[in-house]
Amino acid sequence: MAQFNKSDIGALLAKQGILIAFAVFMIGFTLANPRFIELDNVSGVIRSSAILGVMALGVTFVVIGGNLDLSVGSMMSFSTIVVLDLHDKLGPGLAIVAMFALTLALGAFIGFLVGYLKLNSLIVTLGMLSAIHGLTLTWSGGKNMDIADKSGTWFAFFGQARVMGVPVPILIFALLAVLLSLLLAKTPFGRKVYAVGGNGQAATFSGIPRARVVFMTYLLSAFCVATAGLLQASRSMGSQNTVGQGMELEVLAAVILGGASLLGGSGTVVKTVIGVLILGFIQSGLLLVGLDFYVQYIVTWIIIILAVWLDVAAKRGRLWSPIA
């Protein structure tokens, strides 16, 4: 029989530690409350995770490209408020078009600053987090938004309808995941994103337009955020102007949990989906065992630290630093 030494176990934990931890969580939550694995709960978790998941799909491209995007939470709030406000003024169709255009403009601005001006993505998106939040409050006048006639509009389809028994948000999440997975894995653009994130300087010397690739990753992230804002607005038909506040950390946690490296150059859309589901099921399990919702914030923080630790450990092939 094959023998495993400490280094083998350490390497296994470094590469698959999150999945092992997830399996332990699933077993523990199921033993604590059998409702955890019931079909209704599983479907509910996936549906509630769809908005976070759609945002995480776009951020996956940004992170693989070697950058960060901490503005997605505020941008989602902006998208939600804008489409709700314009719904009664322009009608649902034009409101959706206008919201996507404005959100893509914000993404293009961030992409220009990071890609073409080569500013630090952490600083830029952290600043944009506050700026977009201010823009949202200015647009809404500091008030929450609601659709006046909730029963006389087809706008509810995106967030509340079902197609063949499957909630539309899940279908949209799944469709985007398939399309973006193919874009990342099977197209020249996807290969350029990996190259830029792996070694930007080498990619530039190879003739890859680094600035354009980075710009496009932020534009793609903004498109996903706008889609998430549409789902959020359609599901509730009204919203607070801080609805996306704090989601940037959950999105980043999901992406890193899925195996994308903070250093860039690695990660997949499929694994990001797994990361989203891990967060969703853990949060659901915490509620079912009777813990208050705010405990989720502490657990999310712990998961982020654990994910970053395992990410660094996978790079060096051991859980502990050789100089520790």
Query: For residue 179, is pLDDT > 90?
Result: yes
Helix/strand/coil (H/E/C) assignment for every residue in the chain: CCCCCHHHHHHHHHHHHHHHHHHHHHHHHHHHCHHHHCHHHHHHHHHHHHHHHHHHHHHHHHHHCCCCCCCHHHHHHHHHHHHHHHHHHHCHHHHHHHHHHHHHHHHHHHHHHHHHCCCCHHHHHHHHHHHHHHHHHHHHCCCCEECCCCCCCHHHHHHHCEECCEEHHHHHHHHHHHHHHHHHHHCHHHHHHHHHHHCHHHHHHCCCCHHHHHHHHHHHHHHHHHHHHHHHHHHHCEECCCCCCCHHHHHHHHHHHCCCCCCCCCCCHHHHHHHHHHHHHHHHHHHHCCCCCCHHHHHHHHHHHHHHHHHHHHHHCCCCCCCC
Distance, in Å, from the CA atom of 71 to the CA atom of 222, rounded to the nearest integer, reads: 10
So what's the pLDDT on residue 8? 58
Greater pLDDT, 41 or 95: 95
Worst-scoring range by mean pLDDT, 134-143, 160-169, 177-186, 311-320? 311-320
Q: Looking up tokens 């169709």, which residue turns up?
A: 93
Going from N- to C-terminal start, the domains of the chain cover 39-244+262-267
Q: What's the pTM?
A: 0.87
Structure token pair of residue 201: 């300087």
Span of 11-25, 183-197, 227-241 with lowest mean pLDDT:
11-25
Average pLDDT, integer, range 168-186:
96
CB neighbours of residue 14 within 10 Å:
19
pLDDT band at 1 (very low <50, low <70, confident <90, very high): very low
pLDDT digits (tens, 9 = 90+) for 267-313: 899 889 988 988 888 888 878 777 777 777 787 677 667 766 766 66
Tell me the per-residue pLDDT of 97-112, one tens digit each, with 9 for 90 and over: 999 999 999 999 999 9
Mean pLDDT value across the chain:
86
Per-residue confidence (pLDDT) for residue 105, from 0 to 100? 97
Give the residue from 23, 81, 30 showing the smallest Cα distance to 233. 81
For strands 162-163 and 166-167, give the pairing.
antiparallel
- Of all residues in the chain, what percent carry a pLDDT higher than 70? 87
pLDDT of 119 above 90: yes
Neighbours of 156 (CB within 10 A): 18
Q: What is the pLDDT of residues 210-267, one digit of tens each?
A: 999 999 999 999 999 999 999 999 998 888 888 998 899 889 888 988 878 888 888 8
Between CA 224 and CA 222 the distance in angstroms is 5
Confidence check: pLDDT of 68 > 60 = yes
Q: Give percent of the chain above pLDDT 90.
A: 50
Least confident of 129-138, 170-179, 196-205, 297-306: 297-306
Residue 2 has pLDDT above 60, yes or no: no
Written as six digits, the tokens of 321 are 């630093």
Q: What is the pLDDT of residue 115?
A: 94
